[in-house]
Chains A and B, each alone.
Chain A
Amino acid sequence: MSLTRHDVESIAYLARLSLSDAELPAYVDSLSKILHLVEQLNAADTADVEPMAHPLADQVQRLRDDVVTEEDRREKYQRNAPAVEAGLYLVPKVIE
């Protein structure tokens, strides 16, 4: 399967990447090649293979006890933020 220019534009939008018209053809080409590779993999018979959700095949998720271990470090964390007010992180207005 080959991607169209429009497909790549949509994917770029979802990833919030800004691609120029000049850059687009290279991405159309390389992303299509990746999909061709996946098509080849899809052709392999995996009827008897259990799908793998994680590369560490035999490991299982460790669980933690339900205990509050974090303390308030807001002041420290907010030193990294460009704008804060009244304890809130400020971002450009988003409203639907």
Chain B
Amino acid sequence: MSSWEAVIGLEIHAQLATKSKIFSGASTAYGAAPNVQASLVDLGYPGVLPVLNREAVRMAVKFGLAIGANIARRSIFARKNYFYPDLPKGYQISQYEKPIVENGRLEIVLEDGSRKTIGITRAHLEEDAGKSLHEDFHGLTGIDLNRAGTPLIEIVSEPDMRSAKEAVAYMKKIHTLVRYLEICDGNMQEGSFRCDANVSVRPVGQEKFGTRCEIKNLNSFRFVERAINYEIARQIQVLESGGTIQQETRLFDPDKGETRALRTKEEANDYRYFPDPDLLPLVLDDEFIESVRRTLPELPDEKAARYVEQFGLSAYDAGVLTASREMGDYFESVVAKLNGHAKLAANWVMGELSGALNKENLDITQSRIDPTRLAGLLARIVDQTISGKIAKDVFEQMWNEGLDADTIIESKGLRQITDTAAIEQVIEAVMAAHPKQLAEYRSGKEKLFGFFVGQVMKQTGGKANPAQVNELLKKKLAG
């Protein structure tokens, strides 16, 4: 049987973090009572006119600059026509022929450490639709139009991805980027960041793309991966059993872990785009674009490269620490307070701290240990007051009890024993208590060295300085 290659492109919808809607002065705040943030413009009343939100334009331009795209000096808005009750006008205002952002790119890092550039065809401004609630309203559907008119950018990739893993890596990278740029909160549960995946397969070596299916509304990285993997397997199975792929829209059912056809009526996808006569062309001058460029923060790739250069971190560690702006800020704050020791700080932020955060499903801004207190703990490792192993216990108490490292170290007597005489005393006691092992060791059974280290650590409650223990033990055991 021939082998198959998947071809994947993503359309990511990111809600822009404006205060008001893209074409009206209604609030975009999440979680309000139904329809209290739906103005006449959002409700599609006759006689109203949309007026474009400057901030939404700035955010789209900011995104375009961050992916090295062309920013259109002149772009136009179009009507995308379809009927659905959560779209009261009967059309969505979007951009079609001339989007605001075109021809960008983003680099992703794959699991094996290799890099791949994913092309971004375009990113256009558009309005979100409302929400339909299908719970029981006496057999009717309830419509909440608070979300109608919320600004979105739709980010359309080239069909450059070849596996579900690549698609997830790309989606995560976009997610990181929009949060760095502070143009989208990235909240996937609330629907602020979601994606449609176009998936097709073709025999390896064939240039022509296969027929694709579009999987709609994927709102978690895990679902994206599962849905794409299912869809690839489904298409291969259809083709290998002699069938053909029908171009269609499919939905992913997370409970069953499968995709199913949504609608096959081809005419349903005839949106009859035309320029919206209510909106004039959007014209941007260099001054506007440059003013946006000046607000660009250090981007994730730039930050990661700096961490490698400035702190001597590995590319992998730098990538993890720059996955969110907040994580990077936290890490740098620890390093600043610790006066260096970046590798130690990196290990603790990625290890103990991330573990504790994950366990309670917190993000780093909600950490129970702030950078100052973590630096306080790490300083005690650096000056050898405590060992790395004891530090983990101290960390746990800091996390649970909210105390700082020094208080815990003092009150529990965890200070590391670095006094040579004291350690020697313990070693002698251990040797006296285990004459048999001592004799065996001295007659060549060197493996027993570990046994003696263990005994000494046990006697000192883990507080003896491990390097000193090793050194002194060697001397004493030698006799």
Contact = CB atoms under 8 A, between A and B. Distances in A.
Contacts of B36: 72, 74, 87
Given A66-B18, A96-B262, A14 B272 contact: yes
Given A63-B57, A65-B55, A66-B55, 10 more contacts: A61-B282, A61-B283, A68-B19, A68-B20, A89-B85, A90-B142, A91-B85, A94-B132, A96-B251, A96-B263
Given A54-B275, A64-B52, A91-B141, A78 B263 contact: no
A67 B25 contact: yes
B54 A64 contact: yes
A85 B34 CA distance: 10
B142 A61 contact: no
Interface string A46-82: 0000000111100111111111111011100110000
A63 B54 contact: yes
A13 B268 CA distance: 9
30 contacts: A10-B270, A13-B267, A14-B81, A14-B270, A14-B272, A53-B76, A53-B97, A54-B279, A61-B52, A61-B279, A63-B53, A65-B55, A66-B19, A66-B53, A66-B55, A67-B25, A68-B26, A70-B39, A74-B36, A83-B140, A86-B142, A87-B33, A87-B36, A88-B143, A89-B35, A89-B145, A93-B141, A94-B84, A95-B134, A96-B263
Contacts of A10: 267, 270
Given A54-B275, A61-B279, A90 B140 contact: yes
Interface of A: 10, 13-14, 16, 53-56, 59-70, 72-74, 77-78, 83, 85-96
A86 B33 CA distance: 9
Contacts of A69: 20, 25
Nearest to B20: A68
Q: 10 smallest A-B Cβ distances: which pairs? A: A69-B25, A88-B142, A66-B55, A87-B34, A63-B54, A60-B283, A61-B280, A72-B36, A53-B76, A70-B39
A78 B88 CA distance: 14
Nearest to A64: B51
B158 interface: no
Contacts, number: 129
Interface of A is mostly: loop
Contacts of A67: 19-20, 25
Contacts of B40: 77
Most buried by B among A16, A53, A60, A90: A53
Interface string B138-152: 011111110000000
Given A63-B57, A85-B142, A70 B280 contact: no
A78 B141 contact: no
A67 B25 CA distance: 6
Interface of B: 18-20, 24-27, 33-40, 43, 51-57, 76, 81, 83-85, 97-98, 132-134, 137, 139-145, 251, 262-263, 267, 270, 272, 275, 277, 279-283
Nearest to A56: B280
A56 B279 CA distance: 10
B187 to A, nearest CB: 19
Nearest to B40: A77
A39 B56 CA distance: 38
A3 to B, nearest CB: 14
A54 B84 contact: no
A60, A68, A91, A94 — most chain B CB neighbours (10 Å): A68
Contact of B281 (A60, A74, A77): A60
Nearest to B260: A96
Contacts of A88: 34-35, 133, 137, 142-144
A59 B280 CA distance: 7
B134 A74 contact: no
Nearest to B251: A96
A72 B37 CA distance: 6
Contacts of A65: 54-55
B280 A54 contact: yes
A66 B54 contact: yes
Nearest to B23: A64
